[in-house]
Amino acid sequence: MPASVLVGTQWGDEGKGKVTDLISGDFDVVCRYAGGANAGHTVIANGHKLALHQVPSGVMYDGTYPVIGNGCIVDPEVLLGEIDMLEAQGISCDELRISGNAHIVMPYHKDLDGAHEKRLGKNLIGTTKRGVGPTYMDKMNRTGLRVQDMLDEKIFREKLEAALAYTNPILEKVYEMPTYTVNQVCETYLPYAERIRPYIVESSLFLNEQLEAGRSILFEGAQATMLDIDHGTYPFVTSSNCTAGGAVTGSGVGPTNIGRVLGIAKAYLTRVGSGPFPTELEGEIGDRLGEVGHEYGVTTGRKRRCGWYDSVVVNYAARVNGLTDLAITKLDVLGCLDEIKVCVAYECDGKTYRTVPEHQSVFYHAKPVYETLPGWGCDISGVRDFYRLPREAKDYIDFLEQLAGVRVSIITVGPDRDQTIDRYWK
């Protein structure tokens, strides 16, 4: 099959950027299909360390087209800053293509994101404050502006005027914040439009033409299964369909083109922002994982909450994404522990759950049931062959594979592109 989807199986930051970069040399196109600048994907290769928010992680390869699909939202300021950063490092963005149907993050979306979080007080979601929720709200409300609206100043002004007629009263009356005028927004956004214009394409048409020409596409997921608006821990989620189904609606490529779905799972677990996290470790072990794994957000710099690997979550991700393959990342980090726990089920009110319970109160009160495995207690970052891993590390992978019901095709043992064990992907 010509298309594959790469998707986060947990609460984000699983190492999607690294694995996308690793495998995207084998694809002709790498397409982001959901989310916006809330994503922070790290790529370390060829002497470059990149933190990418908007541009697909396949940008490092000459001959691979990076595409921002219609399901994404585009923050012009972040996008153009990223293009400048890449070009300053000698990485060309000439082949970047952006869907005309992707929605634009406006300045008032960021204001509303911050103001809404403030209003929620201790119940806040802990968003990245990139304006994601309000931009998708406007999309669904049919009051949003799209990238294609930037092609024509007259249309842009008209649509902006209509959007402000709706948004200004919310800013003023609900949140007691300053409002915007059309001219004020145009002053910054029209110059952005000039720079973005050359990248705008009919991306569904482009992607399908590529498929017809026998070329292959990798869909790079952002965020993750448990942050999906439908399948995640609502309301502590992002505002898009980050699961594999989003690759279809977020790109305009039919599901019959997709063969493999690669789930990315960290060998332990992290989460940024609020919301339930049954296997969270609040003591010394959690701190150690955070230190050794450098668990600080790429987008916000926030300290990530750390916990044990939760096989109930990954098994659920296998179901809702239809995973064919799994990549286990950051296995090297667990070398700092003597023993390792894996959550194999939850208990709540005397009942045992082997899958993520649909009812949120059950999930909130779920107590993890653990199995304890011996650690390997050594540095494995130089290992490139599965059979050269310590026995305990191989057993750990075999156990995760069995619990997920999906083969572990890739294992990563360090942040660099080559710190990888490919078992069955290629």
* Of residues 12 and 245, the one with the C-beta less far from ligand IMO: 12
Which one is catalytic: 41, 53, 103, 231?
Answer: 41
Q: Least distance from C-beta 109 to ligand IMO, angstroms?
A: 11
Q: Which amino acid is at 24?
A: S
Q: Least distance from C-beta 8 to ligand GDP, angstroms?
A: 6
Kindly state whether residue 341 participates in binding ligand GDP, applying the rule CB under 6 A.
no
Relative to beta strand 351-353, strand 305-307 is unpaired
Calpha distance 35→133 (Å, rounded): 10
Kindly state whether residue 13 participates in binding ligand GDP, applying the rule CB under 6 A.
yes
Q: Are 95 and 66 in contact (CB under 8 A)?
A: yes
Cα(first)–Cα(last) distance of the chain, in Å?
14
Q: Which two tokens stand for residue 302?
A: 């926030």
Kindly state whether residue 415 participates in binding ligand IMO, applying the rule CB under 6 A.
no
Kindly state whether residue 57 participates in binding ligand IMO, applying the rule CB under 6 A.
no
Kindly state whether residue 290 participates in binding ligand IMO, applying the rule CB under 6 A.
no
Kindly state whether residue 56 participates in binding Mg ion, applying the rule CB under 5 A.
no
Q: What DSSP letter does each residue of 7-73 carry, written as one string?
A: EE-SSS-SSHHHHHHHHHTT-SEEEE-SB-TT--EEEEETTEEEEESSS-GGGGSTT-EEEE-TTBE
Q: Least distance from C-beta 411 to ligand GDP, angstroms?
A: 8
Q: Is 103 a catalytic residue?
A: no
Calpha distance 224→221 (Å, rounded): 7
Only segment of 71-79, 123-131, 167-175, 414-422 that touches ligand IMO (CB under 6 A): 123-131
Q: How far is CA 410 from the centre of its chain?
A: 18
* DSSP helix/strand/coil, 330: coil
Helices within 230-283 (DSSP H only):
246-249
Only segment of 37-45, 186-194, 381-389, 411-419 that touches ligand IMO (CB under 6 A): 37-45
Residue 132 contact, options ligand IMO, Mg ion, ligand GDP, none, Cβ 5-8 Å cut-off depending on partner type = ligand IMO
| 304 known ligand binder | yes
Q: Is 13 a catalytic residue?
A: yes
- Residues 6 or more apart whose Cβ sits within 8 Å of residue 145: 103, 104, 106, 138, 156, 159, 160, 163
Calpha distance 245→242 (Å, rounded): 8
| 122 known ligand binder | no
| 18 known ligand binder | yes
12: left (phi over 0), alpha (psi -120 to 50) or beta: left
Kindly state whether residue 13 participates in binding Mg ion, applying the rule CB under 5 A.
yes
The residues in 254-273 that bind ligand IMO, with binding defined as CB under 6 A, are 272-273
Peptide bond preceding 357 in cis form (omega within 30 of 0): no
Q: Least distance from C-beta 406 to ligand GDP, angstroms?
A: 18
Could you say which of 3, 6, 8, 315 contacts ligand IMO (CB under 6 A)? 8
Only segment of 32-40, 113-121, 316-324, 376-384 that touches Mg ion (CB under 5 A): 32-40
- Please give the residue ranges that form the binding site for Mg ion (CB under 5 A): 13, 40, 298
Annotated binding site: 12-18, 38-42, 128, 142, 223, 238, 298-304, 330-332, 412-414
Catalogue the active-site residues. Answer: 13, 41
Residues at the site binding ligand IMO, with contacts judged by CB under 6 A? 8, 12-13, 38-41, 125-128, 130, 132-133, 222-224, 227, 236, 238-239, 272-273
